[in-house]
A and B are shown apart, each in its own frame.
Chain A
């Protein structure tokens, strides 16, 4: 590789020098100086590069030497260890056993005897600049290792003046060498630096200086010939030139026999031939030395000089020298191509170029100097270009036919043919040769096309030319001789295909569709050829062509012009071809794709196919139907991807589906009404296709497939919902949503699609809020009923059906299913509750709610649905609250007939919950039943409180107490007893604080209503006795205080009215009669206590009597006068006697019951 680069540098350098000389000859010194500096700079760069490479090689070599030294020390140690036991074995056999292990373990630092040095040391290449390497001893084979064989000296001296020695890698030592001992002296380190300095000096002294000297001599000779020195005639000048050149050539030939002067000799040889050639050139072309009048004659002479030069240099088998000679030959032809006056001298001058080219090719093939061919190709074509310039340049860009065109074209094609034949027929032995040949082949095609383009006067023939040339190149590539060389095959096929592809724009530039189609055809042909022959080159070229075609199609189409069938066909064809190539063919041809690059290309091409299909539909379909088309393609891709288990197709299906979805959102849903049912049809079609896509979602793992399916289903669901919102009348949107949600719920349940069920739930939520926001304001009638009533009732029914059918699949957890169902029933309950508010009279709302709550409760109880029962409780509670804000504000009659049913309903719920049904465990834990019992009682009490005359409220409540006590007795439900007790407390408070505090009783009441309250409470005492259960065990907690009244309710029913009666007597009666009344009351209580055998009552009677005695002593005896005092004392005395007599008479009884 480095060698090739060096050759290229050399060629370029020479060209630059020649250009500099030519520029100087034309007195264009600016160019001359520039070319000269460039040439010098290139030389300096090349030197520096060589120096770096040299240093790098030295480092490698030093490392290898160190390794070798280490190996050498190890070998010496091994040999010493083996030799010593052999010497001592004769003298002392017993010591052998003892010392042998030690000897092996610790080898001596130096061997006792010097190691024999092999007779032939390593030879170092001849150049003096080469560093001196110490003789490399060859170790005698101990066992397996072979002796190191130094490289054989080359038969030909190296061309390059400085060639660092190449040391072969050390042989692999076998097991006996156990370790590498580092060299005790860093000898290589010490000798590296001086040798580097010496080599640079030697490079300058032995390489640069002679070349520079020769160049200067030649330059001086050129100057001598160019300038019109008056002292010298042209003939003298020419003679001086030939003599100088001959002297240099002769000196070089002489010195070349000695090795040390070989570099100088070669420089002199080159300079000598250059001087001779230039002198020959000057015979016609330099005015100061012109002695010939015919350019042909001069050309013949120059060709003779060149041929002689080539023939001579071949003796040295030096590619540089021969190449320099050929270069001079080409320069001669170029210089002869243009006459002294700057005009073209005709085609005849090109014949010499053909001859030179043929000779060069012959030399190249014979000597395998393929680098030289690169020079030849460049020189040949540049020569032709130089010849063409006087013809083409005056045309100033407006090319027109010229007489030499055909000949020029034939010659150029001949150049190409000869060089191509050389490329095909050559024998390649190294990779470097192949690489250089590749450069040559590429340059051949490049310069051919360049020159043909430069001289082109018939652009219309470019297509056929490229087509033909491409076909020929492709055909050459398929020749058996070429196919033996993989690189050549690849190169020629690539060039051929490139030309075939590149030909199309020259003919179909104004027909982009045809251009693209032809590229597609080419791509497909190549691909099928690659598949048929299983040749990856064809397939790769097919890929590149396909990408180019796709790019062409995409960037040249007019997307703004819809319904373009022509463009659509192109897109469709491209998509079909690409999908066929990437999806079907690889599955039919087994193991076709073996490289990662090709696999990736296939995948990319598949996506390009998708883009083609996408764009094709865009230009083919009207706006409204584009989304449908995309969705259809999505379905097709999804199905195909599922069948072929293609991740890419699945992903593309998602992309198409997404595009269709977004398109619908952006365009289809906004279609104007003038389009009729187009929105309905297209959006529904897209939704249906998306649903179908969901069924074939095959991308990735199971989770990804599930997600893909869910996404498709979700998109379709959203479209359906939006379509309904756009198409359905305003009032019926929500019912329609609920209907669709119901369908989804059933489908999700039937086909085990959780996401579909979720969609149903979400749509139901949307419908619910839509109903809340919009439908309650609808007062228009529809078939005799308001739209509000119709739509909301229908929706509520739908929600209940949803709750029934929206049982999510069994794999969904129970909690989620329950929440979903509860949400649906809750929505329905809220809707119906609100609807009742709107549709009923204010006083009837509580009744409506009660009835609805009752139905919910009963339905939930029968169906064992706790959620529905809870909703029923909530609605019943709402009816209870509502009662306070409306029903109790009404007149007594409507308040009564609307509140009593409420109370009855609450009591009914209580009795159901408190029954033997085992389905109410939740309610029992929360004591829901008793709460409803309290709601019923509170409703009745509140009704009485608000509707009864104020002074009759207490009496009404007392009647309620009596009723509650009776209910307790009849129904055996103690909760009514508790309510009765609580209400008795309320009666007492109200009686004391209100009824008995009123300033004056109404005169219209013949008897204070409060007395009725007391009487009714006393009536409850009868039931109190029946309800008492003293044997009931105490609770054992704080509430035990209240539990006493539960066990002994008669106490409460006795003492409460007794206290009220006593207080009432104190307020109502005159001061004098109070004591009498209390005395009578005490006696009655005492007698009653005896009758019922209740000690606490008897004590109460006695207490009253004693209270009377105390009152008499403290108050009456001082305040009462006359009749009242007498009456008081008499009555109380009688009472006390009566009581006393009773004690005496029933002494035994008292003792027993005390």
Chain B
């Protein structure tokens, strides 16, 4: 009995936890994200000091960003209609307002990609921020747009983009500045580590609030993403299916790891409480979206890189 008691206690604890989990059915998506966070964050942490020691100057970063943006814009459709151009200017206006709170004073430029299938937003070093027509279709208010732009601005402001240029150029052995334009744009679209994403969420919301926007806008946006992800994600039916899905996600999702929306929301709520941010009524988008269609096949997992 002396030996059995600890065993029974451990089993009792386990059974209790199991029963609770079966009854409550908490959401626990099966994915390799935890491991990927760990790997990506570790890589980031290990490269942080060397990156800081060899950090690009702002002028070099701006030059590299200009090359990358020019090459990317040549491949993508440009705003051709009046509505697109109006949306382009509207985004630039909101972005300029939000970027005023950034620590680094860079020439932030905002680009609208009028592709309804492009449900994404990303930033390039030096201050170029891109947002797709598909993502605009999901946004309900100017505050949400400001949150998205603030998030991307902080990726630039916190050297996330610049450090990625540094890491990728070292890995690809790109020597000169001119060669940096050879970096594929997917490197920046793929997203960053969990800590970097959370940092971009945190600081982007902060500058958006400073610009007068609601801190609840990003929360509502993340809740929207969470609902969409729940619709798209289906549970595996067999262990083999789950294992293969995990393997594929592990192999393909190394740079596509994002924190759970719940975690991002929790961080923002914690900031709201700590900073005593008031609830501000959100402003609707000032530009219509009649010409923007939604590609239902595009998932929210690629949003806000």
Cβ of B57 within 8 Å of any chain A Cβ, yes or no, is: no
Contact B28 A890, beta carbon cutoff 8 Å: yes
Number of A-B contacts (CB under 8 A): 132
Q: Give the docked Cα–Cα distance between A900 and B17 (Å).
A: 9
Contact B22 A894, beta carbon cutoff 8 Å: no
Cβ of B34 within 8 Å of any chain A Cβ, yes or no, is: yes
Contact A990 B274, beta carbon cutoff 8 Å: no
Q: Give the docked Cα–Cα distance between A843 and B274 (Å).
A: 31
A723 to chain B, nearest CB (A): 30
In the complex, per-residue mask of A423-447: 1 if CB is within 8 Å of any chain B CB, else 0: 0000000000000000000000000
Interface segment among B41-49, B168-176, B177-185, B290-298: the answer is B41-49
In the complex, per-residue mask of B14-46: 1 if CB is within 8 Å of any chain A CB, else 0: 111110111011111111111101100100011
Chain B residues lying within 8 Å of A776, measured Cβ to Cβ, are: 238
Interface segment among A46-54, A122-130, A607-615, A941-949: the answer is A941-949
A885 in contact with B30 given A901-B13, A1004-B274 (CB within 8 Å): yes
Cβ of B286 within 8 Å of any chain A Cβ, yes or no, is: no
Chain B residues lying within 8 Å of A911, measured Cβ to Cβ, are: 6
A959 to chain B, nearest CB (A): 20
Find the A residue at minimum CB distance from B275: A1004
Chain A residues lying within 8 Å of B27, measured Cβ to Cβ, are: 890-891
Chain B residues lying within 8 Å of A1039, measured Cβ to Cβ, are: none
Cβ of B72 within 8 Å of any chain A Cβ, yes or no, is: no
Q: Give the docked Cα–Cα distance between A888 and B24 (Å).
A: 16
Q: Give the docked Cα–Cα distance between A844 and B21 (Å).
A: 6
Cβ of B97 within 8 Å of any chain A Cβ, yes or no, is: no
Cβ of A781 within 8 Å of any chain B Cβ, yes or no, is: no
Interface residues of B in 258-293 (CB under 8 A from A): 260, 262, 267, 270-271, 273-275
Q: Quick one: which of A855, A889, A942 has the most chain B CB within 10 A?
A: A889
Cβ of B235 within 8 Å of any chain A Cβ, yes or no, is: yes
Cβ of A904 within 8 Å of any chain B Cβ, yes or no, is: yes
Chain B residues lying within 8 Å of A891, measured Cβ to Cβ, are: 26-27, 262
B208 to chain A, nearest CB (A): 16
Chain B residues lying within 8 Å of A887, measured Cβ to Cβ, are: 28
Per the CB 8 Å criterion, the residue count for chain A at the interface is 52
A840 touches which of B22, B49, B203 (Cβ 8 Å): B22
Find the B residue at minimum CB distance from A945: B38
Contact A889 B33, beta carbon cutoff 8 Å: yes
In the complex, per-residue mask of A884-899: 1 if CB is within 8 Å of any chain B CB, else 0: 1111111101110110
Contact A888 B34, beta carbon cutoff 8 Å: yes
A844 touches which of B22, B46, B49, B103 (Cβ 8 Å): B22
Contact A886 B21, beta carbon cutoff 8 Å: no
A851 in contact with B18 given A889-B28, A1003-B275 (CB within 8 Å): yes
A842 touches which of B28, B41, B45 (Cβ 8 Å): B28
Contact A946 B34, beta carbon cutoff 8 Å: yes
Cβ of A316 within 8 Å of any chain B Cβ, yes or no, is: no
Chain A residues lying within 8 Å of B242, measured Cβ to Cβ, are: 837
A904 in contact with B13 given A844-B18, A993-B48 (CB within 8 Å): yes
Chain B residues lying within 8 Å of A808, measured Cβ to Cβ, are: none
Contact B275 A989, beta carbon cutoff 8 Å: no
Q: Quick one: which of A776, A908, A942, A998 has the most chain B CB within 10 A?
A: A908
Q: Give the docked Cα–Cα distance between A889 and B262 (Å).
A: 10
Interface residues of B in 187-245 (CB under 8 A from A): 194-195, 198-199, 202-203, 235, 238-239, 242
Cβ of B251 within 8 Å of any chain A Cβ, yes or no, is: no
Chain A residues lying within 8 Å of B35, measured Cβ to Cβ, are: 884-885
Cβ of A771 within 8 Å of any chain B Cβ, yes or no, is: no
Secondary structure type dominating chain B contacts: helix
A842 in contact with B235 given A847-B18, A905-B14, A946-B34 (CB within 8 Å): yes
Secondary structure type dominating chain A contacts: helix
B215 to chain A, nearest CB (A): 13
Q: Give the docked Cα–Cα distance between A615 and B20 (Å).
A: 71
Contact B18 A908, beta carbon cutoff 8 Å: no
A953 to chain B, nearest CB (A): 10
Chain A residues lying within 8 Å of B164, measured Cβ to Cβ, are: none
Q: Quick one: which of B15, B18, B260, B270 has the most chain A CB within 10 A?
A: B18
Contact B45 A990, beta carbon cutoff 8 Å: yes
In the complex, per-residue mask of A995-1016: 1 if CB is within 8 Å of any chain B CB, else 0: 0011100111100000000000
Cβ of B92 within 8 Å of any chain A Cβ, yes or no, is: no
Q: Give the docked Cα–Cα distance between A840 and B24 (Å).
A: 12
Interface residues of A in 974-992 (CB under 8 A from B): 989-990, 992
Contact A842 B30, beta carbon cutoff 8 Å: yes
Q: Quick one: which of B11, B25, B195 has the most chain A CB within 10 A?
A: B11
Cβ of B139 within 8 Å of any chain A Cβ, yes or no, is: no
Cβ of B71 within 8 Å of any chain A Cβ, yes or no, is: no
B170 to chain A, nearest CB (A): 18
Contact B14 A854, beta carbon cutoff 8 Å: yes
A889 touches which of B30, B52, B202 (Cβ 8 Å): B30
Q: Give the docked Cα–Cα distance between A998 and B103 (Å).
A: 13
Chain A residues lying within 8 Å of B48, measured Cβ to Cβ, are: 993-994, 997
Contact A854 B7, beta carbon cutoff 8 Å: yes
Cβ of A233 within 8 Å of any chain B Cβ, yes or no, is: no
Cβ of B158 within 8 Å of any chain A Cβ, yes or no, is: yes
Contact A885 B32, beta carbon cutoff 8 Å: yes
A942 touches which of B18, B34, B203 (Cβ 8 Å): B34
Cβ of B83 within 8 Å of any chain A Cβ, yes or no, is: no
B68 to chain A, nearest CB (A): 24
A903 to chain B, nearest CB (A): 10
Chain B residues lying within 8 Å of A946, measured Cβ to Cβ, are: 34, 37
Chain A residues lying within 8 Å of B28, measured Cβ to Cβ, are: 841-843, 886-887, 889-890, 894-895
Chain A residues lying within 8 Å of B198, measured Cβ to Cβ, are: 950
B264 to chain A, nearest CB (A): 12
Cβ of B248 within 8 Å of any chain A Cβ, yes or no, is: no
Q: Quick one: which of A842, A992, A998 has the most chain B CB within 10 A?
A: A842
A898 in contact with B21 given A837-B239, A884-B34, A889-B34 (CB within 8 Å): yes
Q: Give the docked Cα–Cα distance between A55 and B34 (Å).
A: 111
A908 touches which of B7, B29, B32, B34 (Cβ 8 Å): B7
Cβ of B10 within 8 Å of any chain A Cβ, yes or no, is: yes
Cβ of B246 within 8 Å of any chain A Cβ, yes or no, is: yes
A841 in contact with B195 given A946-B34, A1003-B274 (CB within 8 Å): no
Find the A residue at minimum CB distance from B238: A776
Chain A residues lying within 8 Å of B203, measured Cβ to Cβ, are: 999
Chain A residues lying within 8 Å of B21, measured Cβ to Cβ, are: 841, 843-844, 847, 894, 897-898
Contact A854 B10, beta carbon cutoff 8 Å: yes
A97 to chain B, nearest CB (A): 115
Contact A898 B17, beta carbon cutoff 8 Å: yes
Q: Quick one: which of A885, A887, A904 has the most chain B CB within 10 A?
A: A885
Chain B residues lying within 8 Å of A990, measured Cβ to Cβ, are: 45
Chain A residues lying within 8 Å of B195, measured Cβ to Cβ, are: 950, 994
Cβ of A391 within 8 Å of any chain B Cβ, yes or no, is: no
Q: Give the docked Cα–Cα distance between A855 and B7 (Å).
A: 9
Cβ of A790 within 8 Å of any chain B Cβ, yes or no, is: no
Chain A residues lying within 8 Å of B22, measured Cβ to Cβ, are: 840-841, 844
- Sample of 6 more A-B contacts, CB < 8 Å, known A884-B35, A901-B14: A840-B22, A842-B235, A851-B11, A889-B260, A904-B10, A994-B195
18 A–B pairs (Cβ distance < 8 Å), ordered by A = A840-B22, A841-B26, A843-B28, A844-B18, A854-B11, A858-B7, A885-B31, A885-B246, A886-B30, A888-B34, A890-B26, A893-B26, A902-B14, A904-B10, A942-B34, A950-B195, A998-B199, A999-B103
Seen from chain B, the residues whose Cβ lies within 8 Å of a Cβ on chain A are 6-7, 10-11, 13-18, 20-22, 24-35, 37-38, 41, 45-46, 48-49, 52, 103, 158, 194-195, 198-199, 202-203, 235, 238-239, 242, 246, 260, 262, 267, 270-271, 273-275
Seen from chain A, the residues whose Cβ lies within 8 Å of a Cβ on chain B are 776, 834, 837, 840-844, 847-848, 850-851, 854-855, 858, 884-891, 893-895, 897-898, 900-902, 904-905, 908, 911, 942, 945-946, 949-950, 989-990, 992-994, 997-999, 1002-1005
Sort A-B residue pairs by CB-CB distance and give the 9 closest, nearest first: A1004-B274, A894-B26, A843-B28, A890-B28, A993-B45, A844-B21, A888-B34, A847-B18, A901-B17
